[in-house]
Structure 1
Amino acid sequence: MHRRTLLRAGTAALAAPAAFTALAGGTARAVPLPVQGVDLSSVPKAEDLGAVFRHADGTPGDPVAILAAGGANHVRLKVWVNSPDGYHGLPHILAMGQRAHAHGLRLLIDFHYSDSWADPGQQNKPAAWAGLSLPDLEQAVYNHTHEILGGLAQQGTPATMAQIGNEINGGLLWPDGASGDFDALARLLTAGSRAATDATPGIEVALHLAEGGDNPATVWWFDNAVSRGVPFDVIALSFYGYWHGTLDDLRINAIDCAARYERDIVVAETAYPFVLADSDGHPNIIADPSQLVPNFGASWEGQADWVRAVSQVLSEVPDGRGRGLYYWEPAWIATPGNGWDPYDPASGNAWENQALFDFRGRALPAATWR
């Protein structure tokens, strides 16, 4: 996920949304896809700090159960190596794996290979790995990946997909694994991929880039990965319409890459605001009408229409290779102590207006996939 410091990409006018199935309230229902996913990485900390999630009628409930009842069938969880707030490590991954499994949800584990956020603007080594040589970094990547996925497999809740790095357009574990030295980057990615399949035979390996509407950059990156024999099964893209181009840009990129590399495509991250206001006094990332995607308002309907529109694009990838999408952090509602900065408990939440729960914790229409 892009941090709030990144600049918003310009957006061109979009064609009006295509036909869709309407819900009773008039909002769009997403096109059914094999992957209807939700990233629930923030849930354990939110619950520990007192967050209350509710069904649409206001009845309190388990957010995992609420989203599963709405049609979500996959859960994405991020992993940090030694998180400053104590979350996103093995204990919470195992606990969330059990919760997801109890509701019939499959798991995608998102390895950041950092102690905190990893994205196109930062790919910082974990402090414990700071002085390692490249061969030792390969071993550290292997061991860390194997520990997390092996733990899930041992408790009977194996992941079905592993994401080796998060938004790694510029590489990972800088400076050693920067994309300017793709040979070194390929070694690190291969170590993670090999660990995933060793820990969980049959697991799918995804490689994840931001800028899902940028076809030339995506092709450059995957050409380099393929030419070096990096083993992977799925191309994962972030696509936020207020940063990453138009829906047509995503369509062109997804169709081209699915055919070019003979891999399935998932949108590993997307989201959209249901309102421009904030609920905690902390400025939101998307807070001004100029940031909105044309034809998609900051409303319950606009948010649901966005999920439907991205689903529609993926459904148009030939041969069923548009596997599906993950909505990023739909349960990251404003809860004191659960802000952006894991080093600072007083930091605020810049995302709550893009959650799939409103400011009272009630599930919104976009939380219903079916």
Structure 2
Amino acid sequence: MKKPITYFYLLLFLLTIGCDKQDVTTDNSEITAVTKTSLTKKLVTGFAKGADIGWLTEMEASGKKFYNSSGVQQDMFAILKSKGMNSIRIRVWVNPSGGWNNQTDVIAKAKRAKAAGMRIMIDFHYSDTWADPGNQAKPAAWSSHNISQLYTDVWNHTVTVLTALKSAGITPEWVQVGNETNNGMLWNEGKASVNMKNFAGLITSGYNGVKSVFPNAKVIVHVANGYDNTLFRWIFDGLKNNGASYNVIGMSLYPETNNWQTLNNQCLTNMNDMVARYGKKVMVCEVGMSVTAAATCKLFVTDILNKTSSVTGGNGLGVFYWEPESYNWNGYTKGAWGSDGKPTVALDAFLLN
């Protein structure tokens, strides 16, 4: 038998030198639970390790600059690649105020991602602004449309944006139809609790639009709270019963420092259930934790990367950090960038290979 105590202190030392001063709450139980079993694990081939960087161009236009861990100013995509990331997620809004996240802005970011050799996910919100569990407002131009018109709107918007990307030489690997659709989208016509059939029809309309431009792209239905199996069964039973078409079940996960282990375990159980129950692949499309708890966030992300990679049958496709580059931006506090303009230790989780 080897010397477990010696290995423990060695691993504790290695973890400690990677921690920053902002987070001193990580206890030995966390280190024992995660470090011993997962920091050296290799992820499955083709696994996506990514970031949603929708704010990037707006931040750059405001004068924000980004630095690598050595303090050298560098392009964001180069910094993310140096942290082990291989994929980029970009959100799309229909007619946003200010223009950010519109078709032109999306293409600009996608071109940079492609030039950096990154794989690409396009995330359709089907709104002029944020779509999430509590907000699924129709675009102003669609506000008076009935459900039949909305099916056409979704198809047209999806095809228009993707065709423009294709013309720019961009081929996304994944396309989300809707963002955090816990209760459907395009309310009230597409509100799942009001009319699941309508929601399923909107998903299928988006799916058909994606496949008409990029037949090989994987279409994702995205729901928040990846630990909540009851929610996921309700949504995806409803979609199945109403004949919706899609390829991948996506989820978000934003734990706190005191519950991440529990939520990660529940998320893995949920992912395996989704694979078994619906025969779909799964992906964690968004993760994040307080920037002031970077060391604990590194443990959380390391663990969810490994858990997603371990999903039954190799059906866990990847993990994306949501807006890691945000620092002092729009009051968002769950990025992974310090006030010094450099990435925190949290992003070192993606150096797993």
TM-score normalised to structure 1 length: 0.81
Q: Is the 1:311–1:324 contact (alpha carbons within 8 Å) kept by the matching residues of 2?
A: yes
Which digits, 9 at most, give the CA deviation of each residue in 1:25-44, with x for residues without a partner? Answer: xx957853501010010000
- Structure 1 Cα separation of the partners of residues 148 and 40 of structure 2: 48
What per-residue deviation string (whole Å, max 9, x for no partner) do you get for residues 105-147 of structure 1?
1111111111111111110011110011211111111111111
CA distance in 2, matches of 1:229, 1:73: 33
After TM superposition, the structure 1 = structure 2 runs for residues 1-370 of structure 1, keeping only pairs within 5 Å, are: 16=30, 18-20=33-35, 32-33=43-44, 34-180=47-193, 181-242=195-256, 246-275=263-292, 298=293, 300-335=294-329, 339=330, 349-351=331-333, 354-368=334-348, 369-370=350-351
Deviation at 1:365, TM superposition (A): 2.4
Shift of 1:228: 1.8
**2:83 touches 2:347 (CA, 8 Å); kept in 1?**
yes
* CA separation of 1:63 and 1:105: change in aligned 2, threshold 3 A: same
Letter of the 1:211 counterpart: N
Q: How far is the alpha carbon of 1:206 from its aligned partner? A: 0.3
> Offset at 1:72?
0.7
Amino acid at match of 2:346: A
* Identity across the alignment (%): 31
Per-residue CA distance 1:209-253 (angstroms, 9 max, x = gap): 011111111011101111222111110001111399622211110
Residues 30 and 308, structure 1, Cα contact 8 Å, conserved in 2: no
Question: Which runs of 5 or more structure 2 residues have no equivalent in the other structure?
Answer: 1-28
Question: Is the 8 Å Cα contact of residues 212 and 239 (structure 1) preserved in structure 2?
Answer: yes
Aligned 8 A contact 2:284 2:319 in 1: yes
Separation (CA, whole Å) in 1 of partners of 2:91 and 2:246: 19
| Bigger RCO (CA 8 Å, 6+ sep) | 1
Per-residue CA distance 1:286-311 (angstroms, 9 max, x = gap)? xxxxxxxxxxxx2x321211110111
Contact 1:41–1:77 (CA under 8 A) maintained in structure 2: yes
CA RMSD of aligned residues (A): 2.0
d(CA) in 1 for partners of 2:291 and 2:145?
A: 44
Gap runs ≥5 in structure 1: 1-14, 276-297, 340-348
What is the identity, as a one-letter code, of the residue corresponding to 1:356?
A
Task: Find the structure with the greater CA-based Rg.
Answer: 2
Q: Secondary structure at 1:237's aligned position in 2?
A: strand
Deviation at 1:69, TM superposition (A): 2.0
- C-alpha separation between the residues in 2 aligned to 1:158 and 1:30? 30
Kept after mapping to 2: 8 A contact 1:30/1:307: no
The residue identity in structure 2 corresponding to 1:145 is T
Which deviates more, 114-123 or 30-39? 30-39
**TM-score, structure 2 length as denominator?**
0.85
What is aligned with 2:24? none
Secondary structure at 1:246 match in 2: helix
Is the contact between residue 52 and residue 324 of structure 2 (CA under 8 Å) also seen in structure 1?
yes
Aligned residue for 2:96, secondary structure, equals coil
State the 1:152 CA deviation. 1.2
